[in-house]
Amino acid sequence: MTVGYICRYTPVKLLESMGVECRRIEPGYIDNEVAEALMHPNVCTYVKGVLSEVVRGGYDGIILVNCCDSARRLYDVLKNAKKDMMVYMLDLPRKSGDQAVAVYTGEIKKFVQAFADFYSKEFNVQDFKKYISIEKNAEQNNRPKMRKGISLAIMGARCSAYLVDLIKKAGADEVLNYTCTGDLLEYPPLFDKSAREQEMIEWYAGCLMRSIPCMRMADIDRRRDVLKDIMANVNGIVYHTIKFCEFYSYEYSYIKDNYHFPILKIETDFTSDSEGQLMTRVSAFVESLRGRDEIRKTLRKSGKKIVAGVDSGSLSTDVVILDEDYNILSYSVMPTGASIVESADRAFSQAIEKAGISRDDISFVVSTGYGRINIPFADKQVTEITCHGKGAYFLNNGVRTIIDIGGQDSKVIRLDDNGNVVDFVMNDRCSAGTGRFLEVMAKALEIPLEKMGEEAQKATEDINITSICTVFAESEVISLIAQNKKRADIVKGLHNSVASKTIGLLDRIGRKGAYMMTGGVAKNRGVVEAIEQKIGEKVYVPEEPQIAGALGAAILALQE
Amino acid sequence: MRWIKKSVNDPEKVRKLVVWGLMAEHVFFSLFGDKHVPKSFNYLNKIGVEFVLSPLVHSDQSAWVNLFAPTEILHAMDIYPLCIEAFSSFLVGFQCEDVYIDYAQRFGISDTLCSYHKGFIGAALTDLLPKPKFMITSSMLCDANISTFRYLSWYHHVPMYSIDVPFEYSSQSVSYLEGQLREMVKMLEQVTGKKMDEDKLKEVIKRENKTHAYMNRYIDVLRYKCHPTTLTLEMYMLFVTHTFMGTQQTLRFFEILMDEMESFPDSKAKRVFWVHIVPFYPHGLKRYFNYSQHYEVLGLDLNFDYLEEMDCDNPYRALAIKMILNHGNGPYQRKIGSIMNIIDRLQPDGVIHFCQWGCKQSVGGMMLLKQMLDERGIPFLALDGDGADRRNHHEGQVNTRLEAFLEMIGKRERCL
């Protein structure tokens, strides 16, 4: 029989010693139809995934712990929906003192009894002792090993095996999982071999409750001690949060505020959606950790005279062709459309044609952007973070902060005096404050995207677009249209909304001039002005703001 | 309001503006009041303002608490509680919640966190609020409680106590909780230098019992009588049913209310029972429910979450039992049972469940409540929104849903 569980405080080993297969539920998808019919869109995405998976079937029982609000309601909903199997929830105290351990011991005993009754199984303390001894020996092999290359710790909310793999694929040599799904947090002490059932369960409850606490627990001082150890042993931390789970944002804020240690915050819905964006961010983070010197070393190779950079973005594909003296021979900007490969081909051909050369003249191609791994003719892939930094610094070496608002994401990149990327932030999955946001709104307002900047100049009234989310903002815009508000005023309100979102992002890494704005949205004078007004400083916009990434890629190609 | 927004970086100035604003409101409700609502509700408005003002003015004798903290202990020790959810509501009243919420988010606090917490965190981080002497939170109902208080306690270096409220009722869980309350009192004594007089705590519990008795009578009378009120006042009721339960002022409020209630006319309105908090600012909601003779909000379930007689001779144990058996603690079926009980007593025409942004514990079980109400043939409406951040409220969408619901339960045409 197979029992599903979600929390590491679940007395799994006790069940396993009874011959029960315990499977930690790692949902790969969310069935929104099920999740929203039984719960609500705004519960934790992991819990929605678990609900989807359990409803689909494959489990003989579900053992939960009242770890969070969403899990508690998952219990209530499953209990009501799955009457044919055991749905049980253990009441786990948040403290770990003797009285709390006694309470949890009582809970576990009650659970074992209920489980044994429901499935006609027997708990035998000798079997449990035997099982624990075998398990303990196996665990010795799971400790952190010697550090080699770039070593990253993943902290925060539970992470899936998929996420660990993604971080490895993004270039990390070693990934240590310090979330509750990793096995790096438990250090069970020895037990007394003559212990009887009550003492053994008490011992086990103590082991569970006194391991390194998760953020749901009340006393988390030990997490802070562990944090120091982690920082001493890795190059950087990938801090994971799950949508609609807030426990961990507090710890992220604490680390960011108190330590100057490389940390990258990522938010997922626990499934494998948005892989492209995650990969870009983690790869850029790894690249920044490797250090510019090392990158230079690997890039240095003798080359011929002409190179190209291709930036395959979500809305446009841009190509820049450079000669060995860093002269831009030509560039092209094409809509990406449905096929990354085709649009890259078209943009590349157009740029070659403009430069009056043939494909064979190009000795090296670096691709960047969302689609960078799928450009068949590229020799190397580099993330757009590094490329934007490179391109922007080339265009104006006084720039220390780059604000790049593209079709699908917006980012702020901080450069040091030598043009190296030293920090960056990027929006999460949602498209608020990006080119896509403006595109949706332009459609709602029936105005061409490129005319928005001009239209905003005619504004006479201040309208505050308060919704942060693209979907909600669209309905807000529709309400404003219904209220007969002037289009110019709404457009200006939208520009201010994008600027606010951008400033929020900027303030996460701090303000430092001079500023440059790149990406398609930089062509919208209204947004640039709104940002300038908010930061009280001029923002430099290059002649063709969309090609900064491709230019950076071409410069990197030249250095090969 | 604009002054506050413009002065976020000058917390002293904002604090003065807030205190002056509250004092002006206090004077207004002491001298004049709102002519459209009964005397008792004007008194409630006056004491509500006092409750927020006192900890701001006497911060050296104040403690930050959440809505479900056992403040009876603080009342017995003459410590002023500042309820964080209440303060966030006042930020909404001052129309400046957005700047504080954004401030918290810039510090890395998740945007999906409950806005009542985000607003308060922002206000605390900007130093708008004077540092308290102590902080108390209970774990019940909401995950954010312990996290937010721990974060603020670190940030301000102010001692705090987290009360872990078990999910299930048992003699062991009651003892575990009682032990924590006693430990917390010792800590409070050390930090504040004040001594707990257990007789005073017993007095507080006695007043609480009297209040519970009044509240039970109130429910019985409410079934028939019209009580012209506002959404804001329904939220103010949380002061007297939670943070200031057991105080003289609370008892006084219910005394005046019950004196008046008998003389109110019988209600002819369509009546709605409200589950979870109610946002007090949306125009559509105010238009239908404030002072209305045609549609009435009978009350929020949160205001009736524990109405039992408490053992005043064992005050710590009584408080522990009260917390564990609060209808929002434990399995959702307990909450459904309690709501159905009140509904049986009040006989509303429909139930509205408000899905507060970030509140997983309430929205997660909503469909179970709907299922139960459907079985009983009681109309149900779910409204999504945010009581503490206007930006998450969508007037058009809420109005459409609300009006359709009111059409469904009838009488809409009379209101227009």
CA–CA gap between residue B144 and residue B142 (Å, rounded): 6
pLDDT band at B323, cuts 50/70/90?
very high
* A307 has a pLDDT exceeding 80: yes
- Check whether residue A494 and residue A513 sit in a common domain: yes
The pLDDT of residue A291 is 64
DSSP, collapsed to helix, strand or coil, labels residue B367 as: helix
Domain boundary among A83, A109, A140: A140
Put residue B134 in one of left, alpha, beta given phi > 0 → left and psi -120 to 50 → alpha: beta
- Cβ distance B387 to B358 under 8 Å? no
pLDDT band at A184, cuts 50/70/90?
low
Q: Which of B11-15, B67-71, B113-117 has the lowest mean pLDDT?
A: B11-15
* A147 has a pLDDT exceeding 60: no
Put residue A24 in one of left, alpha, beta given phi > 0 → left and psi -120 to 50 → alpha: beta
Token pair 């916009």 in the structure block, residue: A541
The arithmetic mean of pLDDT across residues B29-54, rounded, is 92
The pLDDT of residue A471 is 66
| Residue of A218, A256, A468 with shortest CB distance to B108 | A256
Distance from CA of A478 to the nearest CA of B (A): 10
Q: Within the 321-380 window of chain B, which residues sit less than 8 Å (CB to CB) from chain A?
A: 331-333, 355, 357-361, 363-368, 371
More confident residue, B16 or B9: B16
Distance from CA of B308 to the nearest CA of A (A): 24
Cβ contact A253–B150 (<8 Å):
no
More confident residue, A321 or A28: A321
Q: Edge-to-edge strand order for the sheet containing A21-24?
A: A21-24, A2-5, A61-65, A86-90
The 3-state secondary structure of A428-455, one letter per residue: CCCCCCCHHHHHHHHHHCCCCHHHHHHH
List A405's β-bridge partners, or say none: A410
- Cβ distance A76 to A106 under 8 Å? no
Question: In sequence order, which residues have a C-beta less than 8 Å from that of residue A360 and are 6 or more positions away?
Answer: none
Q: Which two tokens stand for residue A39?
A: 């719960």
Q: Which two tokens stand for residue A41?
A: 């869109």
- Residue A47: closest CA among chain B residues belongs to which residue? B364
Domain boundary among A290, A324, A349: A290
Q: What is the ipTM of this complex?
A: 0.93
- Check whether residue A285 and residue A317 sit in a common domain: no
Q: Does domain B199-415 match CATH 3.30.70.360?
A: no
DSSP, collapsed to helix, strand or coil, labels residue A341 as: helix
* A472 has a pLDDT exceeding 90: no
Top-ranked range on mean pLDDT: pick from A152-166, A311-325, A456-470, B187-201: B187-201
Nearest of B87, B98, B97, B92 to residue B64 by alpha carbon: B87
* B412 has a pLDDT exceeding 80: no
Residue B168: DSSP 8-state: S
* Residue A296 located in a structural domain: no
- Check whether residue A233 and residue A318 sit in a common domain: no
pLDDT band at A296, cuts 50/70/90?
very low
Sign of the dihedral defined by the CA atoms of residues B279, B284, B290, B296, in that order: negative
- Check whether residue A33 and residue A122 sit in a common domain: yes
Distance from CA of B402 to the nearest CA of A (A): 17
Whole-number average pLDDT of chain B: 93
Cβ contact A69–B364 (<8 Å):
yes
- Cβ distance A531 to A517 under 8 Å? yes
* Residue A38 located in a structural domain: yes
- Report pLDDT digits (tens) over A108-125: 999 999 999 998 888 999
List A4's β-bridge partners, or say none: A23, A62
E-strand stretches of B48-143 = 62-65, 80-83, 134-138
* B203 has a pLDDT exceeding 70: yes
In degrees and rounded to multiples of 5, residue B3 shows phi and psi of -60, -40
Chain B residues near residue A254 by CB distance under 8 angstroms: 151, 154
Note the CATH architecture for domain B2-194: 3-Layer(aba) Sandwich (3.40)
Domain limits for position A146: 142-290
The pLDDT of residue A141 is 46
Q: Which helix or strand (DSSP H or E) is residue B43 part of?
A: helix B39-57
CA–CA gap between residue A150 and residue B158 (Å, rounded): 39
CA–CA gap between residue B183 and residue B257 (Å, rounded): 37
More confident residue, B409 or B279: B279
* A282 has a pLDDT exceeding 70: yes
* A457 has a pLDDT exceeding 60: yes
- Report pLDDT digits (tens) over B227-272: 889 999 999 999 999 999 999 999 999 999 999 998 889 998 999 9
The pLDDT of residue A468 is 63
Q: For chain A, what's the residue count?
A: 560
Q: What is the CATH number of the domain that holds A66?
A: 3.40.50.11890
| Residue of B143, B154, B172 with shortest CB distance to A68 | B143
- Check whether residue A375 and residue A514 sit in a common domain: no
- Report pLDDT digits (tens) over B165-183: 999 899 999 999 999 999 9
More confident residue, A355 or A67: A67
Chain A residues near residue B329 by CB distance under 8 angstroms: none
More confident residue, B210 or A226: B210
Angle between helices A435-444 and A470-482 (to 10 degrees): 30
Q: What is the CATH number of the domain that holds A535?
A: 3.30.420.40
Residue A226: DSSP 8-state: H
Within 13 A of B134's CA, how many CA atoms are on the CB side?
Answer: 26
The pLDDT of residue A139 is 53
pLDDT band at B382, cuts 50/70/90?
very high
Whole-number average pLDDT of chain A: 85
Domain boundary among A140, A172, A189: A140
CA–CA gap between residue A275 and residue A289 (Å, rounded): 21
The pLDDT of residue B190 is 96
Count of domains in chain A?
4
Q: DSSP states of A262-282 as a string? A: -EEEEEE-SSSTTHHHHHHHH
- Cβ distance A179 to A267 under 8 Å? no
In degrees and rounded to multiples of 5, residue B142 shows phi and psi of -125, 130
- Report pLDDT digits (tens) over A64-112: 999 999 999 999 999 999 988 999 999 999 998 899 999 999 999 999 9
- Cβ distance A1 to A61 under 8 Å? yes
- Check whether residue A286 and residue A179 sit in a common domain: yes
Chain B residues near residue A221 by CB distance under 8 angstroms: none
- Check whether residue A136 and residue A150 sit in a common domain: no
User: Cα separations (Å) of B165 from A437, B145, B385?
Assistant: 44, 12, 28
* B413 has a pLDDT exceeding 60: no
- Interface contact B395, partner A, CB < 8 A: yes
- Check whether residue A387 and residue A406 sit in a common domain: no
The pLDDT of residue A292 is 43
Distance from CA of B102 to the nearest CA of A (A): 8
The pLDDT of residue A229 is 85
* A189 has a pLDDT exceeding 80: no
Residue B265: DSSP 8-state: P
The pLDDT of residue B46 is 94
- Report pLDDT digits (tens) over A377-422: 899 998 888 899 999 999 888 899 999 988 777 889 999 888 888 8
Segments making up each domain of chain B, as ranges: 2-194, 199-415
* A294 has a pLDDT exceeding 60: no
Question: In sequence order, which residues have a C-beta less than 8 Å from that of residue A351 and are 6 or more positions away?
Answer: A308, A319, A320, A321, A330, A331, A332
pLDDT band at A339, cuts 50/70/90?
confident
CA–CA gap between residue B224 and residue B231 (Å, rounded): 20
DSSP, collapsed to helix, strand or coil, labels residue A44 as: coil
Cβ contact B112–A244 (<8 Å):
yes
List A425's β-bridge partners, or say none: A412
Q: Which helix or strand (DSSP H or E) is residue B134 part of?
A: strand B134-138
Token pair 């007395």 in the structure block, residue: A11
Token pair 């709404």 in the structure block, residue: A490
The pLDDT of residue A303 is 46
More confident residue, A36 or A400: A400
pLDDT band at B297, cuts 50/70/90?
very high
- Cβ distance B38 to B291 under 8 Å? no
pLDDT band at A443, cuts 50/70/90?
confident
CB pairs A-B closer than 8 Å: 160
The pLDDT of residue A298 is 44
- Check whether residue A275 and residue A154 sit in a common domain: yes
More confident residue, A258 or B413: A258
- Interface contact B5, partner A, CB < 8 A: no
Chosen for mutation from A241, A242, A245, A250 (greatest number of chain B CBs closer than 10 Å) is A250
Chain A residues near residue B385 by CB distance under 8 angstroms: none
Put residue A540 in one of left, alpha, beta given phi > 0 → left and psi -120 to 50 → alpha: beta
Chosen for mutation from B103, B152, B160, B164 (greatest number of chain A CBs closer than 10 Å) is B164
| Residue of B108, B154, B180 with shortest CB distance to A249 | B108
Distance from CA of A247 to the nearest CA of B (A): 7
The arithmetic mean of pLDDT across residues B35-45, rounded, is 92
The arithmetic mean of pLDDT across residues A505-524, rounded, is 86
The three-point CA angle A487-A490-A493 to 5° equals 150
Nearest of A241, A95, A250 to residue B151 by alpha carbon: A250
The arithmetic mean of pLDDT across residues B275-289, rounded, is 94
Identical topology for domains B2-194 and B199-415: yes
CA–CA gap between residue B361 and residue A74 (Å, rounded): 10
- Check whether residue A66 and residue A102 sit in a common domain: yes
- Residue A466: closest CA among chain B residues belongs to which residue? B391
The pLDDT of residue A69 is 94
- Check whether residue A124 and residue A36 sit in a common domain: yes
The arithmetic mean of pLDDT across residues B12-31, rounded, is 88
pLDDT band at A304, cuts 50/70/90?
low
The three-point CA angle B260-B261-B263 to 5° equals 75
Q: Which helix or strand (DSSP H or E) is residue B370 part of?
A: helix B366-376
* A57 has a pLDDT exceeding 60: yes
- Check whether residue A379 and residue A439 sit in a common domain: no
DSSP H helical segments within A311-383, as ranges? 340-355
Q: Which helix or strand (DSSP H or E) is residue A61 part of?
A: strand A61-65
Distance from CA of A526 to the nearest CA of B (A): 23
The arithmetic mean of pLDDT across residues B45-57, rounded, is 95
Within 13 A of A192's CA, how many CA atoms are on the CB side?
Answer: 10
Distance from CA of A42 to the nearest CA of B (A): 7
* Residue A81 located in a structural domain: yes
Cβ contact A77–B368 (<8 Å):
yes
Chain B residues near residue A252 by CB distance under 8 angstroms: 108
More confident residue, B81 or B33: B81
